[in-house]
Structure 1
Amino acid sequence: MNRTRFAPSPTGPLHLGHAFAALTAARLADPGQFLLRIEDIDQSRCRPEYEAMIAEDLHWLGLDWPQSVLRQSERLPAYQAALDRLSALDLIYPCQCRRADIRAALSAPQEGAAPVIGPDGPVYPGICRHRRMSDATPGDAIRLNVARALDHLKVDEIAFCDENIAPGHPYRLTTPDIIDGIGDVVLARRGMGSSYHLSVVVDDAAQGITLVTRGKDLLDSTYIHIILQKLLGFSTPRYHHHRLIRDEAGKRLAKRDDARALRLYRAEGASPADIRQMLGF
């Protein structure tokens, strides 16, 4: 069974890139197995009117979902339970660092090289790695100690196949490459109770997602997600990372690209078939 999901954040109108992601997930799902998830843990940026617009635009495209919508803002107990499990294994730690602290540590003369860039930006230099969860304060972020996690799993590498980019040819990263190239990612951000990495893993498991479809910009995040799945006892779904929709200059579309918002195409008289043809469906 192919059960997929489309998981937008209600922080702005859907644009052509969102339409491509949603149509891809729906096309690859078995009948009745396309789900909608609302990623709204960042309550400072999410708006109810954008969530309503998301549902309206998706229905206009001809998409439907058989189950009630899962909202991350209603899932905080599940994320905390996952953090508690990782804490019991001594695999997470509280982090007080601000972005300026990280930049300063990475630019110190003794580092001697340009910062390594991972899925979340510059790889965290481990300033707070000595801290324990018993030291945590309400203003802390929570990070995964990835070296300790990999040691706990007793693996030499993490590997997965992508069904779209290179079917049958696994992507692989060795343990040292994951430690040095991805690092201690944030699992819970200040004031949110979770982060993308933790919530997507917990929610995919809860919804029984068997095929994860998403942009190829998230390919490297898959290594972290598989590590978390193994640590939390979840099954690993299959993965399909698709191309990104870009503007004329080759830049990936973002929420601020209102000129490509579906609502504007609709207002100008475009049909769902026009959008599908524009995107190659």
Structure 2
Amino acid sequence: MSTGLSERARQFIHEHGTGAVRASFGMGDLGLMFPTLRRDPHLVAAMDPAFAALLTTVVEFERTYGGLTVPVVGGPLEGEIRLGLHGVDPVWRTSDGRLVYRGARHPTAQCTLLLDMDGRFGTAWRDEFNVMLDSVELVLEQAAAWAALHGWSHSAIVTGAEVAEVVQAVGDLSLDGDASGELSQWWSSDDFVAVSSYGLNGRGRDPASIHLVARATVQARELRAALTHHGFTVSGYFAGPFARVPRLVREGAAPGADASPRREDR
């Protein structure tokens, strides 16, 4: 599986990623996670072809990302993301028949984090799939982009608005192609950032929120004035001290020197 990550994301993983990617993970290792297959390996031959094809994708995902943990300092996934298969029978079908697999964990989220057969990242609260981001690569790209904002002020969250309208109101923002996709966009300038994304309920259940960040308090006040002038309702971070994006401190196991996660064979 080719990661297609930007240099910024690779450097972020090199500096702040922990854990050891399971480079030698194979179909036999995956089989151990399925009690039914472990009891009767011949069932593989009788599998739904789509299910069998996804197993190959899952193995490649695990070889590329399984075991990697990265910090996330902003947005709906704030905290950290631990990539890798987990649980019993990690590949399953949602209530609408979509094939998904448990490919990530979050220390505080009460939902399940999933990837679907198209590579999209999302959640499940029961047996559904709520899509959030275009890919696991975009999860890492946005984590890297957030890390670059340490010390900036959290300024506002805008809901119920189109991102194009907010971008126009703020002015002079450019799309960050590395951190953007169809489902989430990252816009930035020297002093402001606007991130359009879905929360843990995913697209279709809640509208996208636009998280705005300013370099310093004075810019945050300018941002609020511009938004209210254009009639937007904003919330958060305007009363009292401005919350700030924290600085990341490198901790844990040292990743590989080639700007990639450390790898292990097992």
> Which bin holds the TM-score, normalised by the shorter protein?
under 0.3
TM-score where L is the length of structure 1? 0.25
Decide which structure has greater helix share: 1
Decide which structure has greater strand share: 2
